[in-house]
Structure 1
Amino acid sequence: MAGMGRRRLRQCGLILIQHLCYLLAGEGGPQTGTMTECFDCDNCKESLYGRKYIQMDNGPYCIPCYDAHFANTCDECKELIGHDCRELYYEDRHYHEHCFRCFRCDRSLADEPFTCQDEELLCNDCYCSEFSSKCVACEKTVMPGSRKLEYNGQTWHEHCFICSSCQQPIGSRSFIPDEKDYYCVPCYESKFAPRCTRCKKSLTKGGVTYRDEPWHKECFVCTGCKTPLAGQQFTSQDDNPYCVKCFGNLYAKKCSACTKPITGFDGGKYVSFEDRHWHHNCFNCARCKTSLVGKGFIPDNDEIFCRDCSNDL
């Protein structure tokens, strides 16, 4: 068989590299020579004296016999590829050099990168023009194999997909769409996320709302003791939040009986008389300890008595 040289051709994009072979007579293949003594073609038996021939493993062949028996047929023009022609080989198909062309623009692919689409050979330009998408940002072709980003049916070059705020490529990082704009997470949080009432930093998740204002959980603390109030009972004084203990110590009325704060939490009720206050369970007769809640009573200096005990005094 004719000698074969092999050359790799780079393909467009991610398509697998194809192998293009050149079958050239005289390059590592069967030898061509001349004879000066009696020597016959192995096929037609005609003398090769003074003629060119090709030496095969099973004997010498004259040029016409070699082409007739060993030459391949061009897949494009269907004619034999003679021993003196440059032959191109691709995917079990053979071509004359001038027949190995782009199916669309007819450009020679002998020394060009190419690909195959539905059995059609295409140069890079034709393939990209017909099958590659366009970058939404720069409107240029996104070449196969180049790094790109696809979102919501649109395509960008990786370097063209940038944050609408800081103008830096987003790359493989998370992003947040906002109508026709796209933001990296830090820029979106800085631009749109609510800010904590106390520390003024962005509040991206969790948090609590107090008086229609957002707070980080760790920032929403008692004004007095700084204990976190998220998930705890609290109240306010002058728009400032306080835990139950601090509010009771600082602002609550004190029970005239037990001197502890009267906060009203947990359904607690109290009784007031003049400038004095009692827990319900502390509003008892000072002598017989009977509850005076809802009953008449007689005050005597700092103490209170039921009517019966008052009469016995």
Structure 2
Amino acid sequence: MAQGKGGVPGGPPTQVNKLDNMLGSLQSDLNKLGVQTVAKGVCGACCKPIVGQVVTAMGRTWHPEHFVCTHCQEEIGSRNFFERDGQPYCETDYHNLFSPRCYYCNGPILDKVVTALDRTWHPEHFFCAQCGSFFGPEGFHEKDGKAFCRKDYFDMFAPKCGGCARAILENYISALNSLWHPECFVCRECFTPFVNGSFFEHDGQPYCEVHYHERRGSLCSGCQKPITGRCITAMSKKFHPEHFVCAFCLKQLNKGTFKEQNDKPYCHGCFVKLFS
């Protein structure tokens, strides 16, 4: 059974074959009239001679209607195109298929590119994951595959000072199960640095000796110095034994042999003389 060229058996020829037949007839008619037609090359797509318009690209010649995007098959014409593996692609398809993609928006990157964290980014889409700011000369810090500016990185992930609760960036002191800026590891009451690193702990905080005993209620009410040995408790206060004295004659008192007046202790004799 006969089959039309490039078509179904017995069916009409395709549009491409019609065009080829018309061009062949035209060339034959021109030859009969004595007009010599010279082929301008062989089409890189259909491998047939080109008599009319010709497209020259990629070191080859093409019928204009055959110079199409390898992906979408749209005629390229005078538009920009890209070559890959010897095949032409329109600009849109080339970027969609082969250009690096931005990790943030997943769009193709057509111009400048930032390469970081083993990924590619549009420059305008590479910013701090916390505050959205672009990175300055100090660059960025990485955590769990995300980029952070220096401030947010240390605010979020650096250890915090037991004194001021701000991030510790450089030198630190380790004490009381916490880390401290050196300038923050001082008495929590008077803010005095500790001599030779010696300090006292109360409720998880460092104190100098005086304020430690003040917080513990172990300062002598007579001399206002810490009580480290024997102690007398009287009038809801604490005293060195030698400092628990009569407020008038300054004679040392025993805990059970004093009189109290206006929150002061007196020996029996002075109390009788002063208040009887």
TM range, normalised to the smaller chain?
Answer: 0.5 to 0.7
- The correspondence of residues 230-269 of structure 1 with structure 2, limited to 5 A, is 232-262=138-168, 264=169, 268-269=170-171
Deviation at 1:187, TM superposition (A): 0.6
Distance (whole Å) between structure 2 residues aligned to residue 269 and residue 186 of structure 1: 54
Counterpart contact for 1:297–1:304, Cα < 8 Å? no
- Larger relative contact order (Cα-Cα within 8 Å, sequence gap ≥ 6): 1
Q: CA shift at 1:214, angstroms?
A: 1.6
Using the alignment, how far apart are the partners of 2:140 and 2:58 within structure 1? Answer: 47
Q: Which residue of 2 aligns with 1:303?
A: 206
Q: Distance in 2 between matches of 1:298 and 1:224?
A: 41
Distance 1:245 1:190, change over 3 A: same
Note if 1:203 corresponds to 2:116.
no
Counterpart in 2 of 1:58? Answer: none
8 Å Cα contact 1:217/1:228 also seen in 2:
no
TM-aligned CA distance change 1:108 to 1:191, over 3 Å = closer
Partner of 2:20: none
Alpha-carbon shift at residue 134 of structure 1 (Å): 1.7
Corresponding position: 1:178 with 2:84: yes
- 2:120 alignment counterpart: 214
- Could you tell me whether the CA contact under 8 Å between 1:196 and 1:203 is conserved in 2? yes
C-alpha separation in 1, matches of 2:80 and 2:140: 38
Give the % identical residues: 27
In 2, Cα distance between the equivalents of 1:269 and 1:260? 13
Distance 2:64 2:137 in 1: 45
Give the structure with the larger helix fraction: 2
* 1:124-163 → structure 2 map (5 Å cutoff): 124-125=36-37, 128-129=38-39, 132-143=40-51, 146=53, 148-163=54-69
Superimposed CA distance per residue, residues 101-123 of structure 1 (whole angstroms, 9 cap, x where no aligned partner) = xxxx99554xxxxxxxxxxxxx2
Give the conservation status (yes or no) of the 8 Å contact 1:220–1:230. no
Per the TM alignment, residue 137 of structure 1 is displaced from its structure 2 partner at its CA by 1.3
Distance 1:253 1:142, change over 3 A: same
Give the counterpart letter for 1:245 in structure 2.
K
Asked if the contact 1:271/1:279 (under 8 Å) is kept, the reply is yes
Q: Which residue of 1 aligns with 2:178?
A: 276
TM-score (norm 1): 0.47
> 2:164, 2:184 within 8 Å by CA — same for their partners in 1?
no
| C-alpha spacing 1:204/1:277, structure 2 compared with 1 (3 Å) | same
Q: What whole-Å deviation, never above 9, does each CA across 1:193-239 have from its counterpart, x for those lacking one?
A: 22222211112332323321222222222222222337553223333
Task: Mark the runs of 5 or more structure 1 residues left unpaired by the alignment.
Answer: 1-104, 110-122, 306-311
Are the equivalent residues in 2 in contact too, given 1:284–1:304 (CA < 8 A)?
A: no
Q: Equivalent residues in 2 for 1:21-170 (5 A)?
A: 109=34, 123-125=35-37, 128-129=38-39, 132-143=40-51, 146=53, 148-170=54-76
| Secondary structure of the structure 2 residue equivalent to 1:218 | helix
Give the aligned length. Answer: 176
Pair 248,150 (structure 1): closer, same or farther in 2 beyond 3 Å? same
Q: 1:226 aligns with which of 132, 141, 154?
A: 132
- The change in CA–CA distance for 1:161 and 1:299 in structure 2 (over 3 A counts) is farther
TM, length-normalised to structure 2: 0.53
